Structure 1
Amino acid sequence: MKEIKVGLEIHQRLRTHKLFCNCPSTLMEMEPDCWIMRMMGVSRSELGSIDPAARFELLRQRKFLYGTYFDGTCEVELDESPPLEMNREAVEIAIKIAKMLNMDVVDEIHTMRKIVVDGSNTTGFQRTALIAIGDEKSMIRTDQGDVRIATLCLEEESAFIAETGPDFVKYRLDRLGIPLVEIATYPDIKSPEQAKEVALKIGRILRATGKVMRGIGTIRQDINVSIEGGARQEIKGVQEPDLIPIVISREVDRQLNLLKIRDEILERGITEEDIGGFFDLTDVLKRAEKGFVRKAIDSGGSAFAIYARKMKGLIGREIQPGRRLGTELASYAKVFAGVKGIIHSDELPNYGISSDLVAEIRKRLEIGEEDGFILVISDRRTAEIALKSVADRLRYAIKGVPEETRRALEDGNTEFMRPMPGSARMYPETDVLPVLSYPFLKALEGWKPEFPEDIIGRLVSYGISRDQAEEIFDEEKVELFERTSCLCKNLSRGFIASTLTSMMKYLRREGVKVELIPEDKLIETLLMVDQGALAKEAVENVIRDLAEDPNADVKEIARRYSMSQEELEKLIDDVISLHKDELMRAGEKAFSMLMGEVMKKVRGKVDGRIVSSKLRERIKKEISQKSL
C-alpha cells in the first residue's frame, strides 16, 4: 500500500438546547406541521471569488421545501429572524472538552459563516465558531504513534433530509441548529486501524463529559484521505467506528485503481478531444427489445450519447468492490442532472440493447470496436447536463484523481457527493456578537475532569470485568448502571451489566427497538428480579414486550411470564406426588431429579433460587412425615 495520510473530523451533538435560539434539541417523530418552499442563490466572496461547491449547487437549480414544527422550531431556523446570542451552556461544554484535550482556548470566540447552498441550512451558510487550537500537548496517543489535535469548533447541525428528487429536496428543521462540537486532527494517521483507534478515544473523551447526546446519528466522523500521487478526499458521514478502516482501505483502493486507469489512458494516447460529442440516438433505441430502455423510450424519453474513443474496457473497470469507473460517472450524472443512471458500452449488449444495435450506435457515433460510449435516457436538457458532467469527469481521468467531497456508503464504499469546497466559503457572521472566553475559564479554575479511564476504573471496582466496564462506558450507560446497582441490593452487578449491554445488543441485532424503552422501565424490570418477583430468564421477554409498547406497565407484563407462590407450591406437590416412590427410596438425594422436573415447567417464570428453596422445604416435610 502506498503511503497514506488521514485526518479525522469528529462531530458530536451536545445535550443542550439549540445553538442560536431557545428551541429544544429534540428530533420529532411526527410529520411537520407545515412546509415552506425556498430556492438558493450564490454571491461572490469579499475577494470576488465564488466557492466551487456553491457554484455546483447553483447549477442544479433545485427547490427546497422545509418542514417546520410549532413546538420544535422557530423563526431563527427559517431565517426569518436574526439568531440569538450563542448558547452559553454549549460554549462551556466545548471549552471543557478543549481543556480535556489540552488545547489552547481562544480569547474571543467569533462566529463565522461557512457557505452551504445544498439547502441543508436555510440561511445558505452554516454558523461555526473556533473554540480552541491544539498545541504540542494536544494529541491522542495510539499504538502507532501520536496524532495531533488541530482545532475544536462549535457549530450548528444541518437540517434533516426527508425526501429528495431530481429537482427538489425536502428537509425537516427539527435537527437544524442543534449544537455540535467538531474536533479536527492533523493528517498524522498512517493506517486505517489507527484512524479507528483515534476516533474511539476521542469519542470516549466526549462521552466522559456526560454532556453529549446518545444514539445513532449523534456522533459521526468525516475522514480526509489522500495517498501519494492521488488527491485529498473528504468522506462525509461515517457513523460506525468499525466502518472507518473499511472506508479508508476502500478509498485507497479506489484511488490506486484510478491511477492505474490514468496510466493506461496515457499508454493508449487518449486526449481530452477523444471524449465528447452529443448525439440523439432515440430512433436507434426505439428498436430495443423489451426492457427498461424500451419502456423509457415508449414513455416519451429520448436517448443521447457521447463517445469515449480508445476507452473500451476502462469504463467497466472495477475500482471498489461492486463499483466501477462507470459507477463513478453515473454518480456525477445523478448529482448534476438528477438522472437515475447511465448506460455505457462496456456493459452492452444488455438491457434489451442487442449486438446489432450496439454496432449501429458505433456507426452513428463514428467510432470503432476499441472505442467506448455513454448513453443517457431523459429529456434533451437533462441529458446535456448529465453527459457534460460525465465527459468532464472522464477528461479528468486523464490527469488522475480529482479532489471531491464523497459520501460514505453502508458497505464501506464511497460515492461522489459534490466538488471539494474552496477557501472562499468562509466569512464573518455579522449577526452574532463575539463571546469572551475568560469568564468561562475563570469559572473552571480548579475543575478536575473525570477522564474515560477514571470512569472505567470506577465501574470495575463494582465487581464487573473490564470488558463489561468498557462496554457500559461505550454504550453510554454508566449512569443507568450505577442507578440500577444502587437500587438492586441482591442482584449481581455482572447480571445488571450483561442485561444492559450484551442482551440489548443481541435484541437490537434481531430488530427489537430496545432504544425506545425508557430507562425507568429497565430499572423497574431489574428491581422485580432483585425482589424475586421475576425470574432472570424472563427478563428478555419483558424487554421484548416493552420495546413493542414502551408505555406498558412492567408489572402487567411480568405477570405473563411469572408464576404465583400458590401455583408454584401446587406444582411442587404434583411433582412429588408423581415421583413419591423415588423420593421415599432416595431421600434428599432425589432433589436433583425433582428439581429438574419442576424446572421443566417453571423455567423463565420463577427464579431458580426460589424454586430450590421451596422444593427443599417440601422434600424435608415429606421425609419427616414418613419417619413419623
Structure 2
Amino acid sequence: MSETEYEYDELGLVAGLEIHQQLDTATKLFCQCPTDLREPDAATRTFTRYLHPTRSELGELDAAAVEESKVDREFEYLAYDTTCLVEEDDEPPHELDAEALETTLEVAQLMDMKPVDQAHVMRKIVVDGSNTTGFQRSTLIATDGEIETSDGPVGVEDLLLEEESAQRVEETDDGVRYSLDRLGIPLVEIGTSPDIASPEQALEAAERIGMLLRSTGKVKRGLGTIRQDVNVSIADGARVEIKGVQSLDDIDDIVRNEVGRQAELVEIAAELEERGASIGDVRDVTNVFEGTESGVVAGALNDGGSVMAVALYGFDGLVGREISPDRRLGTELSDHAKRHGAGGIFHTDELPAYGITDEEVSALRDAVGAGPDDAVAIVAAGDDVAAGAIEAAAERAETALEGVPEETRGANDDGTTRYLRPLPGAARMYPETDVPPVEPDPADVPEPELLTEKVDRYQAEYGLDEGLANQVAYGRRMPLFEEVVADGVSASDASGGSSDGSDGVDPTLAATTLESTLTELRRDDVPVENLTETNLRETFAMAESGDLAREGIPDLLAALAENPDRTAEEAAEAAGLGSADESDVREAVVDVVEQNEEQVESEGMGAFSALMGECMGALRGKADGDLVSQLLREEIQKRA
C-alpha cells in the first residue's frame, strides 16, 4: 500500500508505458472536420447506435469486446454543425492526414525510431460506444526506438498514429452519451518495452516522452489531451494494463499501488490455498430479508427484485482485507458486480451493517451453508441484475484462488485502480480496407529542437533568465512565442498569415506577456482561456507599432478575454486604451506634479516613486513607463 516501499527487484517488478497524445492539426485524421472541442450544449442534433463485437480475419472474438457487449446499452452521440458523414460512420474514411503523419515522423526521430516501409491502417475493435464504428483505426508508423533515464535506457517498441475516441459526456437511463467533437482527432500512441523497474523510473520515462512530444510544438495541451496507460506485473503476479492516467505526477503512485495490490493478492491466494478455499453455488436468499430494515435491500425488494448470495468457503476475514489504499478484496468483487448494473455487493466481513442485523447474517450463513471460517457475498437488485451481478462477483472470487488476474483496470484520482474489463487480445485487430496504405518518408522531416535545448537558446539568444526561459519553452504557447519573436507580427498578419519580415517582438515582452501577465490575469479571475492566438498576435502588433503602450497590454488582454470576437483595436478603443503622444504624456505628468507641489518642493526627487504611481494611474496604461519616468524626472527637477 502507499505507505509501503517494496523491494521492487526482489518482487520482479516489470512495467511499461503507453503514452497517448493528441496532435494539434488543422483537421481530423480521416476527414476535413476541425479538431476544436465544443461544449455539449452547442450540439445541433443527436443520433443513437447499438454496437456488437465482430470476428477477426481468423473468425475469433476478442474476450474484452465480448464482455463489453454483455452490458445492454444504447449509445447516444452529440453532433455539431461541423459533424460529417465520416464521423457518423455513414461514409468511408478519407486518406490519412498528411500533417498528422509528418508530426508522427518528427516524434519518431526524437526517439531514434525506424519508420516502417509501408503503413497499413488497421481496425481495433472497441464496442464501449467511444467510436461510432465499433472500432478504432490505428496505424503502425515506426518501431525500435529508445529513450534515456537515470536508471538506464528504456526501449520504445512502437509508435502508432490513431484516431481519438469520442468524449464521454454522461451516463443516461439507457446507456452512455458521447460527444463527437473529439472523435477522429489525430493521436500518437507510444509503447515502451517492459524495461521499467521502479515507480520512479516510470515517472521519469513518462516525463521524458512528454518533453519529446512537446518539443515538436505540434501537440495539443490541456486536460485530457495526453493520457498515460501503465502495464505492471510482478514475478508471482500477472500483467495488468492500467488505463487513463491523466496526470504524469500520478504515475509513480499508480505503479507503487499496483505492486502493493498484486503482492497482497498473491498473499491472499496463498492463504486461501492453505485453507482449502472454494466457491459455492449462487442461491436466492430473498426470504432471509423479508421485513428487513436495510434501506438498500428493502428498496430492491419493494421494486420486485431479489437478493442473491454466494458462499465463499475459507474466505472469512479475507474479503475485507485491504489490498490497496481504501480498497479491499471485496471492492474487487463489487467492481465486477457493478459492471452488470448492481450498485455493489455486501459481504459478511463488513456485516452486520447498513441496516442488516446479526440475526439476518446468521440466517444468511445458514441459507448458503457457510460456517465461521467462510464468507458470504450478496447482491440486492432487480431479478436479472442481481443474478448476473452475483455470478460476476463469484467468478472474480474464483480467480482470487489463483492469485492476480490479467485484466484492464482504470486509474482513480487517488492513485488506486478499478476493474474495467479483461485484457484484449490479437483477435481485436483486422485490416481497414477503406484506406490505402502509405509509405512514410522521413527524408524531408526536420528533427525538432528539444525543449531543453530551447531553454539554453532562449537564455543565450534572447537574454531571458533561466526561470522565464523554462516557462516559455515548456509552456503551451511556445510556438506562438517563437513565431512573434523570430519574425515579428504586423496588423496585416495578426490573423495568422505570414510575417512582413519586420523585426520580431521584444523577447522579454513576449515572454512575460505569455507567461507572467496571463498568469496574473488568471489569478484575478480574468477568463484568459478565451483568448485566441489572433487576440495575442493583434495585441503584440499594436505594441510593436506604438499604438499601445506596454503598460496597457494587461488591460487590453483583460478586455479581449471578455469578448474575444472583437479585434484588439476595437477592444482598445472601447476601453480607452492606446498610446498617448509625448505632449499628452507631459501634460498628464505636469498635472500630477502641480497637484503635489508641496511634496515636490519639500522632498525633491524623494517624491518620485509616489508620483510615478499617480502618473501611471492617470494615464491608465496609455504611456510607456520609461517615457513617463523620464518626463516626471524632468518636471521634478524644474521645481526642485
Alignment partner, residue 377 of structure 2: 374
Alignment partner, residue 637 of structure 2: 620
Q: Does structure 2 retain, via aligned residues, the 8 Å contact 1:107–1:436?
A: yes
Alignment partner, residue 22 of structure 2: 13
Cα 1:342–1:443, aligned 2, differ >3 Å: closer, same or farther? same
1:412-561 mapped onto 2 (5 Å cutoff): 412-437=415-440, 440-441=441-442, 443-444=444-445, 447-460=446-459, 461-485=461-485, 486=488, 493-494=507-508, 496-501=510-515, 504=518, 513-523=527-537, 546-551=560-565, 554-555=571-572, 559=576
Alignment partner, residue 340 of structure 1: 343
1:424-454 C-alpha deviation (Å, 9 max, x unpaired): 11122222222233xx34555xx45434344
Q: Does structure 1 retain, via aligned residues, the 8 Å contact 2:275–2:314?
A: yes
Q: How big is the shift at 1:71? A: 1.9
Cα 1:42–1:295, aligned 2, differ >3 Å: closer, same or farther? closer
Q: Which moved more, 1:173-182 or 1:397-406?
A: 173-182
Q: How big is the shift at 1:399? A: 0.9
Alignment partner, residue 73 of structure 1: 84
Cα 1:555–1:511, aligned 2, differ >3 Å: closer, same or farther? closer
Q: How big is the shift at 1:605? A: 9.6
Secondary structure at the residue paired with 1:12? strand
Q: Which moved more, 1:232-241 or 1:486-495?
A: 486-495
Output the amino acid matched with 2:594: D
Cα 1:571–1:455, aligned 2, differ >3 Å: closer, same or farther? same
Secondary structure at the residue paired with 2:70? helix
Q: How big is the shift at 1:604? A: 8.9
Secondary structure at the residue paired with 2:138? strand
Question: Kindly, what percent of the aligned residue pairs are identical?
Answer: 43
Which of 104, 107, 118 matches 1:108?
Answer: 118
Cα 1:540–1:377, aligned 2, differ >3 Å: closer, same or farther? farther
Cα 1:417–1:541, aligned 2, differ >3 Å: closer, same or farther? farther
The answer to whether residue 61 in structure 2 is matched with residue 50 in structure 1 is: yes
Secondary structure at the residue paired with 2:65? helix
Q: Which moved more, 1:456-465 or 1:226-235?
A: 456-465
Separation of aligned partners in 2, 1:508 and 1:408: 30
Alignment partner, residue 306 of structure 2: 302
The answer to whether residue 152 in structure 2 is matched with residue 124 in structure 1 is: no
Q: How big is the shift at 1:422? A: 1.3
Q: Which moved more, 1:27-36 or 1:495-504?
A: 495-504
Separation of aligned partners in 1, 2:250 and 2:212: 20
Runs (5+) with no aligned partner, structure 1: 624-628
- The count of aligned residue pairs is 606
Tell me the TM-score normalized by structure 1: 0.85
Output the amino acid matched with 2:120: H
Q: Does structure 1 retain, via aligned residues, the 8 Å contact 2:320–2:349?
A: yes
Q: How big is the shift at 1:52? A: 0.7
Q: How big is the shift at 1:534? A: 6.0
1:253-291 C-alpha deviation (Å, 9 max, x unpaired): 2222222322332333312x3x442223366164215x4
Output the amino acid matched with 1:308: L
1:474-526 C-alpha deviation (Å, 9 max, x unpaired): 22322322345456999974564344235655766887653321133345556
Q: Does structure 1 retain, via aligned residues, the 8 Å contact 2:572–2:578?
A: no
Q: Does structure 1 retain, via aligned residues, the 8 Å contact 2:556–2:572?
A: no
Q: Does structure 2 retain, via aligned residues, the 8 Å contact 1:293–1:351?
A: no
Q: Does structure 1 retain, via aligned residues, the 8 Å contact 2:79–2:181?
A: yes
Separation of aligned partners in 1, 2:304 and 2:431: 49
Alignment partner, residue 97 of structure 1: 107
Q: How big is the shift at 1:63? A: 2.0
Q: Which moved more, 1:524-533 or 1:192-201?
A: 524-533
Q: How big is the shift at 1:401? A: 0.9
Alignment partner, residue 197 of structure 1: 204
Q: How big is the shift at 1:584? A: 3.6
1:180-209 C-alpha deviation (Å, 9 max, x unpaired): 222211111222222222222222322333
Alignment partner, residue 82 of structure 1: 92
Secondary structure at the residue paired with 1:450? coil
1:130-182 C-alpha deviation (Å, 9 max, x unpaired): 11221xxx211111111111111122211221222475122222322222222
Output the amino acid matched with 1:321: P
Separation of aligned partners in 2, 1:366 and 1:255: 30
Separation of aligned partners in 1, 2:616 and 2:119: 66
Tell me the TM-score normalized by structure 2: 0.84
The answer to whether residue 113 in structure 2 is matched with residue 140 in structure 1 is: no
Output the amino acid matched with 1:307: A
Alignment partner, residue 313 of structure 1: 317
Q: Does structure 1 retain, via aligned residues, the 8 Å contact 2:593–2:636?
A: no
Q: Which moved more, 1:314-323 or 1:545-554?
A: 545-554
1:206-355 mapped onto 2 (5 Å cutoff): 206-271=213-278, 273=279, 275-281=280-286, 284=289, 286-288=291-293, 291-335=295-339, 337-355=340-358
Cα 1:265–1:182, aligned 2, differ >3 Å: closer, same or farther? same
Q: How big is the shift at 1:26? A: 2.8
Cα 1:107–1:585, aligned 2, differ >3 Å: closer, same or farther? closer
Q: Does structure 1 retain, via aligned residues, the 8 Å contact 2:559–2:571?
A: no
Q: How big is the shift at 1:389? A: 0.9
Secondary structure at the residue paired with 1:347? coil
Q: How big is the shift at 1:391? A: 0.8
Separation of aligned partners in 2, 1:339 and 1:371: 23
Q: Does structure 1 retain, via aligned residues, the 8 Å contact 2:489–2:504?
A: no
Q: Does structure 2 retain, via aligned residues, the 8 Å contact 1:253–1:319?
A: yes
Secondary structure at the residue paired with 1:42? coil
Output the amino acid matched with 1:41: H
Separation of aligned partners in 2, 1:297 and 1:411: 35
Q: Which moved more, 1:480-489 or 1:141-150?
A: 480-489
Q: Does structure 2 retain, via aligned residues, the 8 Å contact 1:339–1:378?
A: yes
Q: Which moved more, 1:138-147 or 1:101-110?
A: 101-110
Separation of aligned partners in 1, 2:526 and 2:101: 37
Separation of aligned partners in 2, 1:601 and 1:359: 82
Separation of aligned partners in 2, 1:593 and 1:26: 48
Cα 1:587–1:132, aligned 2, differ >3 Å: closer, same or farther? closer
Cα 1:393–1:600, aligned 2, differ >3 Å: closer, same or farther? same
Cα 1:25–1:587, aligned 2, differ >3 Å: closer, same or farther? closer
Alignment partner, residue 626 of structure 1: none
Q: Does structure 2 retain, via aligned residues, the 8 Å contact 1:19–1:178?
A: yes
Secondary structure at the residue paired with 2:337? helix
Runs (5+) with no aligned partner, structure 2: 1-5, 491-502
Which of 566, 585, 594 matches 1:573?
Answer: 594
Alignment partner, residue 365 of structure 1: 368
Q: Which moved more, 1:1-10 or 1:488-497?
A: 488-497
1:37-95 C-alpha deviation (Å, 9 max, x unpaired): 22222243333432110110121132222333342322x22222222222233233323
The answer to whether residue 35 in structure 2 is matched with residue 25 in structure 1 is: yes
Cα 1:558–1:283, aligned 2, differ >3 Å: closer, same or farther? farther
Separation of aligned partners in 2, 1:91 and 1:600: 52
Output the amino acid matched with 1:516: N
Q: Does structure 1 retain, via aligned residues, the 8 Å contact 2:199–2:251?
A: yes
Which of 366, 389, 403 matches 2:406?
Answer: 403
Q: How big is the shift at 1:233? A: 1.2
Q: Does structure 1 retain, via aligned residues, the 8 Å contact 2:316–2:375?
A: yes
Output the amino acid matched with 1:365: V
Separation of aligned partners in 2, 1:617 and 1:276: 96
Separation of aligned partners in 1, 2:590 and 2:356: 77
Output the amino acid matched with 1:159: A
Separation of aligned partners in 2, 1:78 and 1:409: 31
Separation of aligned partners in 1, 2:611 and 2:439: 75
Secondary structure at the residue paired with 1:346? coil
Alignment partner, residue 497 of structure 2: none
Separation of aligned partners in 2, 1:467 and 1:191: 30
Q: Does structure 2 retain, via aligned residues, the 8 Å contact 1:9–1:183?
A: yes
Separation of aligned partners in 2, 1:561 and 1:390: 69
